[in-house]
Structure 1
Amino acid sequence: MKIIDPHLHLFDLKKGNYQWLREDNPPFCPDKHLIAKNFSEHNLTLAAPLTLAGFVHIEAGFDNEQPWREIAWLENTCNMDFRSIALLDITLPKALFLLALEKLTSYKSVVGIRYILDDDTIAILNDNNSQANLATLAESKLSFELQMSLANSLAVDRLMTILSVTPNLMLCINHAGWPTQNHVEYAHWLQNIERLASFENVFIKCSGFEMIDKHYSASWQHKVINQCIEKFGVARVMLASNFPLSLWHASYQDTWGSYLALAKNELAETKLAGTTFLYNAEQLQQLCFSNAQQFYKF
């Protein structure tokens, strides 16, 4: 089975800055040393029945001041078929945003940008430059990777206002919009993914479960995926690894093996045999390959 991994990160600690990977910088977590090392495409090893046909590299803080340096490094280093999502601050004044966008799009692998919102979501989305720059992104036929908590209904309100006036912006929610194991927050998350699913240009990527809980259960992971599929439909959901952060929970092979267990023919011999979240081979191929192939322009 062919896979395009639509969300992963590669590091070269000698060439890049990666401030967030340094021990004395946030985020502070006891297992940071497990990922604070060099990772290349050669670490993306899969065994049968899985084959990695391509990947999407998501910006990883290589150089936040000159984000094109990360793209140049990737294009000089990687031989596998890949696409890049570059870092670009959407609150920049229009002239600076356009200048940076022009530099980034001179690299053939760039298909979109990410600017992490998270704790600053409302302030960033309320910034006058943000809406204008997202409209520019849409005009340039580039996508935006959205990283924010979808349990925050006020922030989702603001996002929906922007989406309503930017109907051509291709947007992909990262890490399933941070579902939590808190029942109240989870209910808000579920309501808000349904609201966002009403926009046909919005897709959702399921990954990053290890950032919510390093010891998450496969049944909880599968529940989240199933609810994303219920709201967005199979054609607008992608499964991804978030490598190398996924190593906090499992190997690269086992991360994808957990997704493979969503298929009907794989479940019979596993402890998840009683689950109701079953997808056929064609649907799983959409979730693991063809949706990413289309969205990221392979």
Structure 2
Amino acid sequence: MTKVTGVMTFIDPHVHFFALSKGNYGWLKSHNPPYWPDKAAIARCTSEQSLIVASNREIAGFVHIEAGFDNARPWREIHYLNAHCHLPFKSIACIDLTSPGVYGHIDYLARLPSVIGLRHILDGEATDLLSHPKVKHVVRYMSERGLLFEAQFDINSNSATAALLNCIDCIPSLTVIINHAASGGLNLVNSNTLKGWQANILALGNATRVGMKLSGWEMQDRNWTLPAANRVFQFLFEHVEHDKLMLASNYPLCQWRLPYHTLWQAYKRLVSQLPVSSQQGLLAENARRWYKIAAK
């Protein structure tokens, strides 16, 4: 793993930048959903420079996940990133899998060097969307253009997980990265729901070309605790191949709970029990490999 002046650095594969004066960001406006009472705390400009400062200059690269800059013209966000980012990075662009112009959007985005994949936030529509023949064809087309699919949905949903697994089976070339994979099990203790989450994690972990990001804790519980996260980590470390797992932040939303640097220091402590190669993988090298991030 890269070291800078003796400090172990990391790659964060799930960050969002908000250029409020350039993009739309309708979801960040108070009169639009989601109606989070603490939305104002994150509805402010963030950039690569603010990320570097927040990391205490320990970050060596990142993956930028589409943040609602302009969902109708997702390439605008990519052009902005390419003009303003200097660390090694890749980007996940927004895509509407149901849009009449989706194939043209995929063609355009696939030509942009920083774009490694696409995301349509599936959430409660995951089962219906991933079961639809047209959506499956679009996802296949995406994979044929060399783009991975960033899947954000509720892993506690058996039907959504089954629909995604079926999609993966039908498209052998498809690479899928699961967003916030671990957070769904955060507050599940000795319950049928916990067993369901574990079963779905195992099924996804056994699938080929599927990676998982461990992040987004604050989306489940603004006051999440490290001991609760550690219980989830232990299950994943024991049952999923370590080279399929990546630690990530969901910056800047993670700062609802912890300062960014504090979060990564906590991550380093949580993985310290593992072999050095696994620690390096979870903190940086797996993200570098899954997202094809160049070394600086």
Residues 203 and 232 in structure 1, CA contact (< 8 A), matched pair in contact too: no
Q: Secondary structure at the match of 1:176?
A: coil
The amino acid that maps onto 1:258 is A
Q: 1:226 aligns with which of 234, 249, 255?
A: 234
Kindly indicate whether residue 152 of structure 2 is the aligned counterpart of residue 152 of structure 1: no
> Where in structure 2 are the equivalents of 1:43-192 lying within 5 Å?
43-44=50-51, 45=53, 46-47=55-56, 51-93=58-100, 96-176=101-181, 178-182=184-188, 183-192=191-200
What residue number does 2:286 align with?
291
Pairwise CA distance, 1:222: 1.7
Deviation at 1:56, TM superposition (A): 0.2
In structure 2, what is the Cα distance between the partners aligned to 1:169 and 1:57? Answer: 20
Counterpart for residue 3 of structure 2: none
Gap runs ≥5 in structure 2: 1-7
Cα separation, 2, equivalents of 1:176 and 1:215: 18
Q: In structure 2, what residue type is equivalent to 1:233? A: E
Corresponding residue of 1:242: 250
Instruction: Give me the TM-score of the superposition, normalised by structure 2.
Output: 0.91
Q: In structure 2, how many angstroms separate the alpha carbons of the residues matched to 1:233 and 1:226?
A: 12
Q: When the two structures are aligned, how many residues end up with a matched partner?
A: 281
What is the correspondence of 1:236-275 to structure 2 with a 5 Å cutoff? 236-264=244-272
Residues of 1 paired with 2:290 and 2:168: CA distance?
Answer: 18
Deviation at 1:180, TM superposition (A): 4.7
Q: What secondary structure is seen at the aligned counterpart in 2 of 1:253? A: helix
Pairwise CA distance, 1:199: 0.9
Contact 2:186 2:229 survives alignment (8 Å): no
Aligned AA for 1:282? S
Superposition RMSD in Å: 1.4
Are 2:11 and 2:62, in contact at CA under 8 Å, matched by a contact in 1? yes
Task: For residue 100 of structure 1, give the secondary structure of its aligned residue in structure 2.
Answer: helix
Confirm or deny: 8 A CA contact 1:150 1:189 kept in the other structure. yes
Alignment counterpart, residue 209 of structure 1, candidates 214, 217, 236? 217
Q: How does 1:1-20 map to 2 (within 5 A)?
A: 1-20=8-27
Contact 2:92 2:119 in 1 (8 A): yes
Q: Distance in 1 between matches of 2:186 and 2:135?
A: 27
Secondary structure of the equivalent of 1:57?
strand
Q: State the distance in 1 between where 2:98 and 2:200 align.
A: 24
CA deviations over 1:192-246 (Å, ceiling 9, x no partner): 1111112121111000001111111101112222322333211000000100000
The amino acid of 2:177's aligned partner reads C
Task: Give distance in 1, aligned partners of 2:237 and 2:50.
Answer: 29
In structure 1, C-alpha distance between the alignment counterparts of 2:34 and 2:78, rounded to whole Å: 24
Q: Which residue of 2 aligns with 1:269?
A: none
Per-residue deviation, residues 170-210 of structure 1 (Å, max 9, x unmatched):
10100016335243322211111111112121111000001
Q: Which amino acid aligns with 2:166?
A: T
Q: Aligned partners of 2:214, 2:94: CA distance in 1, in Å?
A: 20
Would you say the 8 A contact 2:186–2:232 is kept in 1?
no
Kept in 1, the 8 Å contact 2:110–2:147? The answer is no
Per-residue deviation, 1:80: 1.5
Equivalent residue, structure 2, for 1:27: 34
Secondary structure of the equivalent of 1:262? helix
Check the 8 A contact 1:208/1:246 in 2, yes or no: yes
**Could you tell me how far apart the structure 2 residues matched to 1:286 and 1:152 are?**
28
1:134 Cα shift?
Answer: 1.1
Q: CA offsets per residue over residues 251-297 of structure 1, 9 Å max, x none?
A: 11011011011243xxxxxxxxxxxxx21332111001110000101
Amino acid at match of 2:21: K
The percentage of aligned residue pairs carrying the same residue is 37
Give distance in 1, aligned partners of 2:131 and 2:115.
26
